[in-house]
Every structure is written in C-alpha cells, then in structure tokens.
Structure 1
C-alpha cells in the first residue's frame, strides 16, 4: 500500500471574527503603525515618502471595505461588520469575494 501524501503545511483552524459596529479604520491604522515601528523600521524596501493611512472604510453588504497605504504596500482590506461578504478563514488562506469589480481574493 502506498503512503498517503500529507500537505507540507496544515493551516490553523479559522477563528470566529467579531463584527465591527463602527469603522475599523482607526484600529487598522494603529496596528500598521505598530507593525512599522516594531518590525519594518529600517528595511531597505520602505518608501520614506509614504506613511501609514487607513483610507475610506465603507460598508459594503454590511461588512467594511477600505484601503491601507504603508511605506511597503497598498492594500484593499475586508473587515467583518456582520454582513454577507466576510467568511471566517484560516490564517494565510484565501477567500474569494464577489464585488462590483469582480471576484477578488482576500488573504486571512
């Protein structure tokens, strides 16, 4: 009998996310500022002309969708708001979300 293949990585189980009643923008911005100060400061690929900013978080189908700029990236974020777009997903895994622009992958 041939041995069964095992995946190289088994994702952690998904945790139940709490819905944000109010805009998560201030908390998102604070978290990325902390990340910049604690883990990213001084890395050669940082763009010093950019700062951390959470941009225009709005409700879409009951969940929060917004942008984040940092000195190392520009991201679109989906944050649970109790709506129909958010799906609890294991860390590092992708969930496909249907938006007016098409289906986009969000990484948990």
Structure 2
C-alpha cells in the first residue's frame, strides 16, 4: 500500500538531471562513432567499449572520464548557468582541480551538447581488456581530485601543454608508421605516447603486467 503524505516531493535540479542523462548520451553518441567510423581503423582497440567512468558534480559542473576504444578523456560539462554554444570547436581552456590545472579542448557532440575534453590516452593499444581500462580510468578520476598530486613548485598548465604537443607529434609518427608499413608488418615499432596520465593515475597505467592489445 502506498501512503500519500500530501507533501510535494523536492524537484530534481537541472544539474542532477544532466548528471543522470548526459554521460549516457555521450556514450551512445561515441558508440555510434565507433560503429560507423572507427571500428575498422588501426587506431581503435576493438577489445574495448565506450564507457563513462566516475562522473560527478564538481563546482557546479559535471566531470568524469569517457573511455573509448581509441582514446580516454577527462570530460567537463557546463554548469547550469553556463552557455558554451558560441564557443568554437578546438577552443582551449584551463580548468583547476585539487590535483592541479589542466588544459582542455572544446567540442560539441549532440545530444549531450557542449563539453571540454582533456586527453589522458590518445591511443588505447596498451590495454588488454575493458576491466583494465576501467581500473585506470577510476584511478585517474580519483587522482584528479587528490590534493596530494598537486606540485606547488611547478606550472602544471605549462607541463600539460608541453605534453599535449608531444602527444600530437607522437600521434603523427604513429599514423605515418601505420600508413607506410615495412615488408614485415610485425617489425613496426610505434612511438611512445607520452601523456599527462602519469600526473594523476599514480603510475597504474604503466604498472600493469597484462599484455597490450593491438
């Protein structure tokens, strides 16, 4: 039997609704990207799925990690009173977290809409399973909010900007290696993918003994 006390229930806030809906919208959108554009490319690890990990409300915005077969990003969604619709895709912005300041790049993906993303991995080839990738994502989101990872003696924004330049250069080298393979494809050695992940994941990404999956 249901008893009606007569007291109206508290309305759900717009931010709470976004937290319940938008991570799932991002997942569905990028699953479509994977199925229609990325599945058959050499940049995707087809043993992985798209997954939203650790999304939460932080300083009136929604923050979490979006895990995809070809990359892993920290994602920031706008506050209820923020309008990012006029921003150009590719716009850069720094966001401050307990562990430091990180550089993000703006994008838009219907139906979730506007968001900023910070790359942790621009290749997922070193992950052997979804479980391993999810564990690293959970460690990274925990590390993002850990003040113990902050180094007051360094310029974290500058460090991350330099890492992004290194990532882009390495990605170009990897693409060139894949586009022009030697006679024996097994001899391809892809350049390393330096990343800011070491700043917040506590080395978990590099510590696994699981074999990498292509």
TM-score, normalised with respect to structure 1: 0.72
**Equivalent-residue separation in structure 2 for 1:45 and 1:94 (angstroms):** 24
Structure with greater helix share of residues: 2
SS at match of 1:35: helix
How big is each residue's C-alpha offset from its partner over 1:33-63, in whole Å with a ceiling of 9 and x where there is no partner?
0111122120012112211001121000010
Structure with greater strand share of residues: 1
Rate the CA distance shift 1:102–1:64 in 2: closer, same or farther, 3 A: same
Moved more, 73-82 or 86-95: 86-95
SS at match of 1:22: helix
Q: Does structure 1 conserve the Cα–Cα contact (< 8 Å) formed by 2:39 and 2:46?
A: no
Q: Which residue of 1 aligns with 2:54?
A: 56
Residue segments in structure 1 that go unaligned for 5+ positions in a row: 1-18
Aligned-residue CA RMSD (Å): 1.9
Residue segments in structure 2 that go unaligned for 5+ positions in a row: 1-13, 107-214
Aligned length: 88
TM-score, normalised with respect to structure 2: 0.38
Between the two structures, name the one with larger relative contact order (CA 8 Å, sep ≥ 6): 1
**Equivalent-residue separation in structure 1 for 2:18 and 2:43 (angstroms):** 33
**Equivalent-residue separation in structure 2 for 1:32 and 1:44 (angstroms):** 17
Q: How does 1:3-82 map to 2 (within 5 A)?
A: 21-23=17-19, 24-82=22-80
Asked if 1:106 is matched to 2:88, the reply is no
**Equivalent-residue separation in structure 2 for 1:47 and 1:34 (angstroms):** 15
**Equivalent-residue separation in structure 1 for 2:48 and 2:77 (angstroms):** 23
Moved more, 71-80 or 88-97: 88-97
